[in-house]
Chains A and B, each alone.
Chain A
């Protein structure tokens, strides 16, 4: 059984009027069954409002299912007794770096989590050092977070999650507010944590090129998973993606357009090298 598994998961946002009557019900997740293996790198795509963030919040029980169930390492998120363990197992990183950093010095911020669960001081410092090296921010340990760039702040936020030694990290558009360098650094950090530390990664993003290194891609629409597959399988279907309000990387789009125009190249080209190679063989 996978580290994150759900069956017929549904979630409704219910708003109440002042006299406690139900005013509106928004069904954000409409029946999702997934099984994510430990060590997987999963990317979730989908337009704004498709339910991505709601699904992410189910994965460390910030939200609990309205119907159906979700299990983290076999623990049902509906059972309040499991919450602490679930949250130690799955860490979350959000979009805005400024909203998740609380310490006045980088190393204090990273140590906040372990300190909160009453860890011994020596162990806290050990974890702070390990986590900061893992995101390549050890040189900044005594800096003030507000002097860091957006990408550096996000890496500190990731270190804060890593200090809890999670088995899984859920990142909800961690690069949306970053410049190209910051984005690259954060993605590199995430990929390394996945490859070297074996941390399960669930990455939500609007940047299609960030999905290329995923083991599996989920595409969401209207609270459901409407496409699932390897990046190649997903990006081959550029028409369908566009209908879902998404785009494919420029190189994939170019390959698709050339093919439509009668050039004999394969489907689902994801990198510049692949495209250049194929065109060279034609020439």
Chain B
């Protein structure tokens, strides 16, 4: 179930003074089962881009294909597409509205036309997937903590059993533990259910840790599209567009300048530690 964008341009308010050319000539294929990180500063086109993946925005020009079908050919069932390609917006907990967590998660499947029992089953599965314990299911969503609400909202999308899950900054405003919990759950969904994950993030450390492929957006264009490791190697170019590589990348670069023969490629503390120990051990 690949997502394919062909020569996509998107222009906001094309006919007035607020005209903004938000996406420029985007060509992109995302295959089923990938874990893709999307990064870029505010206004670089990230959010506009992800809203094309499930047909929420119709490109000004160009074509968007899901599973090789053109979704804007006039016959395509867009509602079905949005069940297959689930989008979790920023601060999704603001969209919780039902009286209990369970009912809220049932909302999607109910709209898909499933009967109550099926809805409940789906909701139960989804809530388990995001790691929300059963004692919370009958509570009002508004009694939960920030991290729990976020999980409930993600469960609401998972209950529709999507093939692709897009998350727009799912960890914004969470503390480090809440952040790691959510990202680990997302990784589990990816590994166990083979759901395609598209993660929009401001944190290079996070995409380095989880994503196999990284798309860097700048001024409405794809600036880089490669593995995180290959991209962080070019951290000077990232800085030029207002981004930065993870902190360890800079530690390694500095050490190399001082004559340490360590790999510049380390992306995590673990890798950096191995490199430095190997170097020190050798010279000790």
Interface residues of A (CB under 8 A from B): 46-49, 95, 149-151, 173, 176-182, 206, 208, 245-247, 249-251, 253-254, 257-258, 261, 263, 272-273, 275-276, 279-280, 282-283
Contact = CB atoms under 8 A, between A and B. Distances in A.
B255 interface: yes
A272 B250 CA distance: 8
A257 B271 CA distance: 11
29 contacts: A48-B174, A49-B146, A149-B42, A178-B202, A180-B242, A181-B242, A245-B175, A247-B176, A250-B246, A250-B248, A250-B251, A250-B269, A251-B251, A254-B251, A254-B269, A254-B273, A257-B269, A257-B270, A258-B277, A261-B273, A263-B276, A273-B254, A279-B276, A279-B280, A280-B258, A283-B258, A283-B259, A283-B260, A283-B283
A151 B277 CA distance: 40
Contacts of B259: 283
Given A48-B145, A182-B42, A208-B176, 18 more contacts: A48-B146, A48-B175, A177-B173, A181-B41, A206-B176, A247-B176, A254-B272, A257-B269, A258-B276, A263-B277, A272-B250, A272-B254, A276-B258, A279-B260, A280-B258, A283-B259, A283-B260, A283-B283
Contacts of A280: 258
Interface residues of B, number: 36
A175 to B, nearest CB: 10
Interface in B135-192: 145-147, 172-178
Contacts of B205: 250
A89 B178 CA distance: 34
Contacts of A173: 173
B280 A283 contact: yes
A95 B205 CA distance: 22
B42 A179 contact: yes
Contact of A272 (B42, B147, B251, B276): B251
A279 B272 CA distance: 13
Contact of B173 (A95, A180, A251, A261): A95
Contacts of B255: 276, 279
5 A-B pairs closest in CB distance: A245-B177, A250-B247, A47-B175, A247-B176, A179-B41
A264 to B, nearest CB: 10
A247 B206 CA distance: 13
B212 interface: no
Contacts of B176: 47, 206, 208, 245-247
Nearest to A181: B242
B202 A180 contact: yes
A282 B178 contact: no
Nearest to B277: A261
A253 B273 CA distance: 10
B43 interface: yes
A249 B250 CA distance: 13
A38 B97 CA distance: 44
A78 B43 CA distance: 44
B101 interface: no
Given A176-B172, A257-B269, A258-B273, A275 B260 contact: no
A151 B42 CA distance: 9
B248 A246 contact: no
A171 to B, nearest CB: 14
A258 B275 CA distance: 11
Nearest to A280: B258
B272 to A, nearest CB: 5
Contacts of B272: 254
Contacts of B244: 180
A120 B204 CA distance: 48
A180 B41 contact: yes
B173 A176 contact: yes
Nearest to B174: A48
A134 to B, nearest CB: 22
Nearest to B283: A283
A179 B25 CA distance: 24
B243 interface: yes
Contacts of B177: 47, 245-246
Contacts of A49: 145-146
